[in-house]
Amino acid sequence: MIKFFHKLTREEFNALVVKELTWGEVAKDYPQPKWCGYPNAVGGVMGCWSLMDFMVKGKAYCKSCHLFYKPESVKS
């Protein structure tokens, strides 16, 4: 089962930092939420700042973003 980036805890993220993974590796293993249309949202300082700063906990936070996908069938 895929664990999306917004579901990581800070402790889980810190464990990835210790492993010295690249942002590409992190994005592959912990992708951005399916409703997110931000290009390379899991991309460190060039990614979505709200996602990178652990502010995104679910769809509700992102609904006002112009890159939010609205299909109700999207779940993550």
pLDDT for the residue numbered 24: 94
Q: Residue-wise pLDDT tens for the chain (76 aa)?
A: 789 999 999 999 999 999 999 999 999 999 999 999 999 999 999 999 999 999 999 999 999 999 998 665 555 5
Give the position of tokens 């290009």.
39
pLDDT for the residue numbered 69: 84
Q: Which pTM value belongs to this model?
A: 0.82
pLDDT for the residue numbered 1: 76
Dihedral, CA of residue 38, residue 14, residue 18 and residue 27, to nearest 10 = -20
Radius of gyration of the chain (CA): 12
pLDDT for the residue numbered 76: 55
Dist CA 23 CA 46 (whole Å): 10
